[in-house]
Structure 1
Amino acid sequence: MTDDTERHNAKMAKKKAAREKIMATKTDEKGLIIVHTGKGKGKSSSAFGMIFRCIAHGMPCAVVQFIKGGMSTGERDLILGKFSDACQFHTMGEGFTWETQDKSRDIEMAQAAWEKSKELIRDATNRMVLLDEINIALRYDYLDIADVVAFLQDEKPPMTHVVLTGRNAKEELIEVADLVTEMELVKHPFRSGIKAQAGVEF
């Protein structure tokens, strides 16, 4: 072996030993409160990636969509077509607020979606529940953030993961979350006149 190879191997062995020491201290498991927020793309996409992981592991899960209406999406079509026995899917919204233009109806639908969410979260057989775009409903005060936080703290089963997506996550939610990821917008094709496309956005 060359000197460079020996130095590299020794460095990697040292890193491996340090990593194993750290990992040996990580022994707890718990159901996480996970928030995906920010202006960048990928919040729901990442959350659905975790839903598909649960399905692959045979872990029952559920999705509640707070804003998206009746439009076909790849995730929903795949889950309903192939995995409805593993993942319950509830599209409770009727579209984005600027499309519905009916605040009282939006509030009614958001509150119905929250009631369904609580039902699914309380069912401890569901290992993960995705609340897609709930942050939008919270931003517009269609739901009471204090009620949502109190429920997650007091009633979520210990091993259930709850994922909450959407821009502008409330500080109160970020505070109680175990994992928060903010998607940062660097560049988006929409600004160059490119419309949303199947397989990328839906």
Structure 2
Amino acid sequence: MTEAVETADANARHAEKMKKFKEAKDKLLATKTDEKGLLIVHTGAGKGKTSAALGMVFRHIAYEYPVGVVQFIKSPDWDTGEAKLLRRFPELVTLQVMGEGFTWNTQDRERDIATARAAWEEAKQLIRDDRHRLVLLDELNIVLRYDYLPVDEVVDFLRSEKPDWKHVVITGRNAKPELIEIADLVTEMTLVKHPFKAGIKAQKGIEY
């Protein structure tokens, strides 16, 4: 058998395989007809939780859907790339940067609790507001991990007051089991390798 014939046979087998694959996919997709507002959780030790969530935010902006973003840990003093870009769309984005930095910076539990409470009250208003199609609660998992907010309160609110059509995305390591249980979509970022361990510091455009 010549090389040309072997190639033609391989291409024919591939085409037949992909045809059957497409038929199966089309059949499956035809059964997926519902739409709803999703509760999405990005957690895990790997990098990319906020970055992936911001990808959804920017998709909404591209479709001119209003979004709300509450950052629970990042401080207004931090000069982040996402804040710079989001502020270019004031008609579509409500951005609330309400943290005071990492917990080891403040070293004041009562102050951290008060800051978390203020950010959560703002988050509830954005979720209740009919204007915003998606609300990102960046690093809320960290706040819950340190018990700055009661997880039962957060879960109860999301169950009872999140509009059925609204997407809510929550990021941060160590997501509470109670939150994972009620979520529609949960992604765990797995740490395989990180440049920090090789002595490389956080860099603009990658970490912030």
Q: Equivalent residue for 2:196?
A: 190
TM-score normalized by structure 2?
A: 0.95
Query: Which residue is 1:6 aligned to?
Result: 12
AA partner of residue 178 (structure 1):
D
Structure 2 residue aligned with 1:121 = 127
How far 1:60 moved relative to its partner? 0.5
Task: Give the match for residue 78 of structure 1.
Answer: 85
TM-score (norm 1): 0.98
Distance in structure 2 (CA, Å) of the matches to 1:181 and 1:84: 29
2:175 matched to 1:169? yes
Residue 67 of structure 2 corresponds to residue 65 of structure 1: no
Distance (whole Å) between structure 1 residues aligned to residue 80 and residue 165 of structure 2: 29
Partner of 1:92: 98
Structure 1 residues 21-70: Cα deviation after superposition (integer angstroms, max 9, x where no partner) = 00000000000000000000000011011100000011100100001112
Q: Distance in 2 between matches of 1:159 and 1:147?
A: 21
1:200 matches 2:206: yes
What is the number of residues matched between the two proteins? 201
- Per-residue CA shift, 1:53-92, capped at 9, x if unaligned? 0000111001000011121100001111x11210100011
Letter in 2 for 1:180: V
Separation in structure 2 between the aligned mates of residue 59 and residue 157 of structure 1, nearest angstrom: 16
Runs of 4+ with >4 A deviation: none
Structure 1 unmatched runs, 5+: none
Three-state SS of the structure 1 residue aligned to 2:54 is: helix
SS of the residue corresponding to residue 104 of structure 2 reads helix
Give aligned-pair identity as a percent. Answer: 62
Larger Rg: 2
Which of 31, 34, 59 is equivalent to 1:28? 34
Q: What is the Cα-based RMSD across aligned positions, in Å?
A: 0.8
> Which runs of 5 or more residues in structure 2 are unaligned?
none
2:154 corresponds to which of 140, 148, 156 = 148
Q: Which amino acid aligns with 1:76?
A: A
